[in-house]
Amino acid sequence: MAIHPVEYRYGHAEMKAVWNEHTRLSKMLSVEAALAKAQVHLNYIPKGMDEKISNGVKKVTLDRVKEIEDEIHHDVMAVVLALAEQSQDAGKWVHFGATSNDILDTATALQIKDALLILRKETVKLRQVLIESALLHKNTVCAGRTHGQIGVPTTYGLRFAIWASEIDRHIERLDQLTPRATVGKMSGAVGTQAAFGKKGIEIQEKTMEYLGIEAADVSNQVIQRDRHAEFVMWMANTVTTLDKICIEIRSLARSEIAEVEESFGKKQVGSSTMPHKRNPIKSEQVCGLARIVRAMVEPELRNNTLWDERDLTNSSCERIVFPESCVLTDHCIRLTTTIIRNLRFYPENIRKNLNLLNGLNMGEAIMIELSKKGVGRQEAHEIVRQCAMSARESGIHMKDALLANETVSEYLAESEIIQLMDPDNYIGTAVEQVDSLAAKLQKRK
């Protein structure tokens, strides 16, 4: 019976397949086979032994490995013995000169490589959906907010563009960390490669060449965990961006604001007791799971602080950190893409909120124009501030408060004030910024 929600509630089959038991065993066996192939190539073990070991790999079963592990209580030796059983007379050359973490850490690198390919693919999809949304809504003028209060106008297009740009930086970071996080090793018990003799460096490089990854420059018994910590921190950083996006969507979906809404199925139920509810549950799920992924950073950082040439405190921890972080990050990326792609907009509420303050939010436009006409910037600020306070307290429109001010009337005609207070006329270069960013990002792969 399933216990962990990753087993039955969260995550995509593609990413789960990277981290399941069968894949893990397959990667470990691939490393053993590549090692034997490298050793034969370098005349370190007899010719033909690599072929027999490779054939043995095809016959090893997870059940047999578990059966042996139950007897000897050592996971890697269980794999070695199971492979040796199936490799005929080559069995005595299986794992020759290697230590457990030569196999484990290199297998992990292969899994991380596969996980990174999936994460990159899905993050690129999200970036594209955000670009498309930015272009679609580049002229959708809305209330900008700072400190939770309505400020000057912005556009939904610019919001999406800002998010697309941030996601693009995550893709750039992923590309930069990939070669650092996907290295393998054949360094032996404490890193000296003594069991391989003088051919240690060649064996390591050739093994990794066959596996399609780079070899670590130096290592002790384990790959240094700063590499893995960087990967986990990338996932934490990325889901934090998704958290931010979904917090904004949740805020804008509040009943009092109601500018956007997650898609809501015809038969979807929002509440077990309040039939009218249409809750932003997808966004809330992203925000909640982001907390779990961020919580993985501390354990993985600590996994780099091992005793001497290594201890075992990282092992049990990483059995949880790597698969859970990858599965949940991938889940959050895919879910955010779905949310953005199906987001519903309410133009009437967007316009209502834009005009909610009766023109108070257009004070900056008046201040700037007064300054251009000769009123000092600081004086113009104070004039507009006083008008805004008066309009707020008396409940009149900002335009009327401005017209009642002698200095404002001296410099600005009523028609100018009306034009300046039109939110559609005060979005600066928002449209141009969206177009520029979209053109830049759409060239990227």
Three-class SS state of 223: coil
Task: Please report the pLDDT score of residue 381 as a whole number.
Answer: 97
Judge whether 214 and 204 are in contact, CB under 8 Å.
no
Residues 382-410: what's their mean pLDDT? Answer: 95
Three-class SS state of 225: coil
| Average pLDDT score over the chain | 96
Whether 266 shows a pLDDT value over 80: the answer reads no
Phi, psi of 306 (to 5 degrees): -85, 160
Whether 12 shows a pLDDT value over 80: the answer reads yes
Task: Please report the pLDDT score of residue 256 as a whole number.
Answer: 96
Residue of 356, 100, 353, 102 whose CA lies nearest to 211:
102
**Cα–Cα distance, 36 to 44 (Å, whole number):** 9
Whether 398 shows a pLDDT value over 80: the answer reads yes
**Cα–Cα distance, 354 to 352 (Å, whole number):** 5
**Cα–Cα distance, 183 to 39 (Å, whole number):** 19
**Cα–Cα distance, 111 to 182 (Å, whole number):** 9
Judge whether 185 and 204 are in contact, CB under 8 Å.
yes
Whether 54 shows a pLDDT value over 80: the answer reads yes
Q: Is 22 a catalytic residue?
A: no
24, burial (CB in 10 Å: exposed 0-12, middle 13-18, buried 19+)? buried
Three-class SS state of 344: strand
Q: Find the catalytic residue in 73, 147, 272, 316.
A: 147
Three-class SS state of 215: strand
Yes or no: domain 5-45+96-136+156-262+274-350 corresponds to CATH 1.20.200.10: yes
Q: Is 331 a catalytic residue?
A: no
Three-class SS state of 345: strand
What secondary structure letter does DSSP report for 312?
S
Q: Find the catalytic residue in 74, 263, 271, 436.
A: 271
Question: What residues does CATH 1.10.40.30 cover in the chain?
Answer: 357-429
Whether 215 shows a pLDDT value over 80: the answer reads yes
In SS3 terms, 141-193 reads as EEEEEECCEEEEEEEHHHHHHHHHHHHHHHHHHHHHHHHHHCEECCCCCCCCC
**Low-confidence winner among 97-106, 204-213, 259-268, 401-410 (lowest mean pLDDT):** 259-268
> How far lies 158's CA from each of 199, 244, 340, 385, 411, in Å?
58, 15, 14, 27, 32
Task: Please report the pLDDT score of residue 276 as a whole number.
Answer: 85
Task: Please report the pLDDT score of residue 294 as a whole number.
Answer: 98
Question: What residues does CATH 1.20.200.10 cover in the chain?
Answer: 5-45+96-136+156-262+274-350
**Answer CATH for 357-429 from 3.30.70.3040, 1.10.10.10, 3.30.70.360, 1.10.40.30:** 1.10.40.30
Whether 290 shows a pLDDT value over 90: the answer reads yes
Task: Please report the pLDDT score of residue 320 as a whole number.
Answer: 95
Task: Please report the pLDDT score of residue 273 as a whole number.
Answer: 78
Measured in Å, how far apart are the chain's first and last C-alpha atoms?
Answer: 41
Q: At what angle do helices 75-85 and 62-72 cross, to 10 degrees?
A: 120
Bridge partners, residue 344, by sequence: 261
Q: What is the pLDDT of residues 110-157, one digit of tens each?
A: 999 999 999 999 999 999 999 999 999 999 999 999 999 999 999 999
Residues 34-63: what's their mean pLDDT? Answer: 98
Q: What is the pLDDT of residues 309-352, one digit of tens each?
A: 999 999 999 999 999 999 999 999 999 999 999 999 999 999 99
Task: Please report the pLDDT score of residue 356 as a whole number.
Answer: 96
With cut-offs at 50, 70 and 90, classify the pLDDT of residue 263: confident
pTM given for the model: 0.95
Sign (positive/negative) of CA torsion 350, 353, 355, 361?
A: negative
